[in-house]
Structure 1
Amino acid sequence: MNRIIIKGGLVIDPSQGINEVQDILIDADRICDMRKEIIPEDGDRVISCEGLEVWPGLIDMHLHVADLFEIHTATPYGAVEDGVTTALSPGAGNTLMSPALLGAEVDRGLPLNAGVYLGALNVLGTQLSDEELIALFHGKLESGKKAEKLSHNRVTNETAQYCIGIKEHMGHFLLSDTWIERLYHITSEAGLVFMSHTQDPFHTSHLVDMAKGREIHLGHTNAAGCGTHAEPEAGIKQVIDLCQKENVTGEFVTTMLRKGLGSREGLQMTKGSRELALEAVREGIIDILVSDGQNQSTMKGFGDTRDNIPCILELTEEGVLDRSAAVAMMTKNPADYLGRITGCREWTECYGTLKKHAYANLAVVDPNDKLATYVMTNGQLTSFENRFIRGHGYAGNWVSRFGTTKLKIGDASIYSI
């Protein structure tokens, strides 16, 4: 009764170079097989996907999930309705408690895989030295040091290392060069993503200069093309040029990349800066898309997950990319990046792909209405025709630089860690 067959859909899996009609067999939370025709057995559940496209579940590596006193808008549920099955939340206020707080929400039940970046200011605000922080993020700092210099909360101390990276938030606070250098040292040694708040191109250029060849990821890169800190075309060109350096990567917000140029309550690009951004996508300079959403949330970001699937489809319609390359921008490409930075093979083997033994995360897309008809998270149907299915709200896992982790925060607080 655990077997599901996704039948007759056009499978687009950039990780395997597949773009053809295939059946997919799912057993429990994993993909077991993919071939031209899979004959159902007694008890199998068959989901007909004729006329639909079957993509790996979208990885939104910059999505504010239940961020900043998010008490009513249910960001994760809206995201899964839009095909997102893995989301990483980069809140400015994310402290070393954040893995425990969001991990507890995963324990209570979320329909997608969730993880966090930590806010830069909060990471450097403890009594831990840089070398002790590096040991913490490697999972090797002794408990006594944590209790002495990090926190008296045992749950925080045991879960703090389960983050994916650190976010520098120029839009919310400014750090000294000394502290920025400390962040580069910590992230490069600990295998963490260093993400910036890319909006002021001159600040971003300074960050890249300070990198000295170390990895930096420019968050919501197309915000530099909205004219808040520089002339739009000059600003976007400046950050795109930075992304051509070997150690610099970037991401574009889907809402801004569409013809509407962005959300009216967020930031909007100009037509000229959008054209430069599309050219950067066409040339492969920027190959990751994010939402940074949601518009209805307390922490709005600059976009919305509702624009993810339409943006991917429109990149093909406008002749910017073929379908496989467009889908890769929210599947294979972010998984490859996260795997390379963290050194965790699970990111490329189990996420952003429909390979055998990967987690069964899928977005089944209707290219006509540009919506996700079915969404599966770890083998469970979490959304149907753009509506969250409440019975499967416990499908999501916790994800970090170590890959998939069962934090079990509720157990930790009730029993002994």
Structure 2
Amino acid sequence: MRLLLKGGRIIDPSVALDMEGDLLIEEGQIRAIDREIPADEGLEVIDCRQKVILPGLIDIHVHLREPGEEYKETIETGTLAAVAGGFTAVCTMPNTKPPNDCAAVTKFIRDRAREQGHCRVYPVAAITVGQRGKRLTEFADLKEAGAVALSDDGHPVADAFLMRLALEYSRNFNLPIISHAEELALSAGGQMNEGALSTLLGLKGIPKAAEEVAIFRDISLAALTGAPIHIAHVSTKGACEIIRRAKEAGVPVTAETAPHYFSLTEEAVAGYNTLAKVNPPLRTEEDREAIIEALAEGVIDVIATDHAPHSVLEKEVEFAQAACGLIGLETALPLTLRLVRRGIINWLRMAELLSLNPARILSLPGGQLRPGSPADITVIDPELSWRVTPEGLKSRSKNSPFLGWEMKGAAILTLVRGRVAFKR
């Protein structure tokens, strides 16, 4: 297939490129970028005037629920939601049933993604067997089977010595550790952010220290071992400060946050709204503003969705019994574009957060638009207005606190390996 994307605003953060022009795709690769590329016979031309062309978005933190909980999401439906949201690649977390703690499960995910996936799928395997925090998994086998990183996401590795070993061994296999930073002794039984609102609602709170203490420990272990560590779903001002100081000291740490942490606060829980129940919980306005500042300053490197589908069985129940998590693949882009429109970040920085940095941190293909690179491309209409409705979402689950929101901006074309994976 030969495609010519014509007249778009082309953004490539890897070379600080921001220009109006054309982009030529042949045989699944980017062939040329120029101010003007003439169209010849047999070339399909797509008008991209008033549109923005980015390296394909990469989400390094999703839950596709397969194997084991296909009634919530499957690799097929989750990747369809991904391409609809502009994502050309996703990294799926290991807390499936059974968990991805062995080569057989990793291979199953890769095989199913090849058969049914709409975008690239990269498995993140478990750090410990069964995600129970007692014994390390076989890192070499997981790497050979296709794992790109290791995490016990959903469960912290409570044993500091075991986490140290994991970091030391991870360096041998180029498998970055993704930390689910949570001190369970502080968070156990918690339902939302600890504060005046949790007291008013009569819900047990989760203090910010539950996240911050765990982040400090894992960063200290990264400094000790010299191994890189990636901190997942950062939600507090204090966590941003810890990460900032660690980076200034030269510790090999990177971090991500999710759109709900810079778009919502704990007030979304008022009325016992289970759609806004997540872990870590939504925090205060002060924390939300600190997250935004950290994104702009480079303290936080990545925006990842933590896409966590749940059915009505887990969400339409009493708040204390409701599962934590929300879907985010289809709303991440317009929520991030709000920061662009406010002038907090520019298009180049947005492409770093959603594409280039995820690729670099996990050594994935993509993140750039150079000739010869894979034609994983997202074309965005920044002015397209749409409303979030259950019927309009591609995900099998509909557990989004953004239902009913009016959004501005969306992916109108998602190309994976030069092929049209989604067209709006």
Q: TM-score, normalised by structure 1?
A: 0.75
Q: Structure 1 residue aligned with 2:286, among 269, 272, 276?
A: 272
Q: Structure 2 residue aligned with 1:220, among 233, 236, 240?
A: 233
Q: Does 1:91 align with 2:103?
A: no
Partners in 2 of 1:382 and 1:59 — Cα distance? 14
Q: Is the CA contact (8 Å cut-off) linking 2:157 and 2:163 kept in structure 1?
A: no
* Residues 34-53 of structure 1 deviation map (CA, whole Å, 9 limit, x = unaligned): 11122221121111111111
Moved more, 278-287 or 259-268: 259-268
Partners in 1 of 2:69 and 2:42 — Cα distance? 41
Unaligned ranges ≥5, structure 2: 183-210, 269-274, 315-322, 385-408
Pairing 1:258-337 to 2, within 5 Å after superposition: 258-259=263-264, 264-266=276-278, 267-296=281-310, 301=325, 304-337=328-361
Partners in 2 of 1:303 and 1:198 — Cα distance? 20
> How many residues in Structure 1 have an aligned counterpart in Structure 2?
342
CA shift, 1:363, in A, is 0.9
* Residues 342-396 of structure 1 deviation map (CA, whole Å, 9 limit, x = unaligned): xxxxx4xx411111111111111111121111111111111111xxxxxxxxxxx
Partners in 2 of 1:117 and 1:186 — Cα distance? 16
Partners in 1 of 2:252 and 2:63 — Cα distance? 25
Q: Give the secondary-structure state (helix, strand or coil) at the position aligned to 1:55.
A: strand
Q: Does 1:115 align with 2:122?
A: yes
Matched AA of 1:272: E
Identity %, equivalent residues: 21
Partners in 1 of 2:257 and 2:360 — Cα distance? 17
Q: Is the CA contact (8 Å cut-off) linking 2:110 and 2:123 kept in structure 1?
A: no
Q: Is the CA contact (8 Å cut-off) linking 1:66 and 1:76 kept in structure 2?
A: no
CA RMSD of aligned residues (A): 2.8
Pairing 1:352-363 to 2, within 5 Å after superposition: 352-363=367-378
* Residues 113-140 of structure 1 deviation map (CA, whole Å, 9 limit, x = unaligned): 0111111222899xx998xx4554665x
Partners in 2 of 1:244 and 1:64 — Cα distance? 32
Partners in 1 of 2:64 and 2:165 — Cα distance? 27
Matched AA of 2:106: P
Pairing 1:68-147 to 2, within 5 Å after superposition: 69-72=68-71, 73=73, 74-92=77-95, 93-96=99-102, 97-122=104-129, 133=138, 135-136=140-141, 139=144
Q: Is the CA contact (8 Å cut-off) linking 1:65 and 1:87 kept in structure 2?
A: no
> Which residue of 2 is the match for residue 185 of structure 1?
168
Partners in 1 of 2:326 and 2:66 — Cα distance? 14
Task: Label 1:259 to 1:136 Cα distance change in 2 as closer, same or farther (>3 A).
Answer: closer
Q: Is the CA contact (8 Å cut-off) linking 1:255 and 1:303 kept in structure 2?
A: no
Pairing 1:232-247 to 2, within 5 Å after superposition: 233-234=237-238, 237-242=241-246, 244-245=248-249, 246-247=251-252
Task: Label 1:129 to 1:120 Cα distance change in 2 as closer, same or farther (>3 A).
Answer: closer
Matched AA of 2:411: A
Q: Give the secondary-structure state (helix, strand or coil) at the position aligned to 1:251.
A: strand
CA shift, 1:332, in A, is 1.2
> Which residue of 2 is the match for residue 400 of structure 1?
none
Partners in 2 of 1:179 and 1:278 — Cα distance? 33
Partners in 1 of 2:242 and 2:302 — Cα distance? 18
Task: Label 1:138 to 1:236 Cα distance change in 2 as closer, same or farther (>3 A).
Answer: closer
Pairing 1:367-386 to 2, within 5 Å after superposition: 367-369=382-384, 370-385=409-424
Partners in 2 of 1:359 and 1:265 — Cα distance? 38
Q: TM-score, normalised by structure 2?
A: 0.74
Matched AA of 2:358: P
Q: Does 1:167 align with 2:206?
A: no
Task: Label 1:183 to 1:129 Cα distance change in 2 as closer, same or farther (>3 A).
Answer: closer
Partners in 2 of 1:296 and 1:8 — Cα distance? 41
CA shift, 1:69, in A, is 2.4
* Residues 61-111 of structure 1 deviation map (CA, whole Å, 9 limit, x = unaligned): 111234452424311111110000011112232221232111121231311
Unaligned ranges ≥5, structure 1: 140-158, 226-232, 340-346, 386-417
Matched AA of 1:90: M
Q: Does 1:3 align with 2:8?
A: no
Partners in 1 of 2:155 and 2:141 — Cα distance? 26
Task: Label 1:138 to 1:272 Cα distance change in 2 as closer, same or farther (>3 A).
Answer: closer
Matched AA of 1:178: F
> Which residue of 1 is the match for residue 44 of structure 2?
45
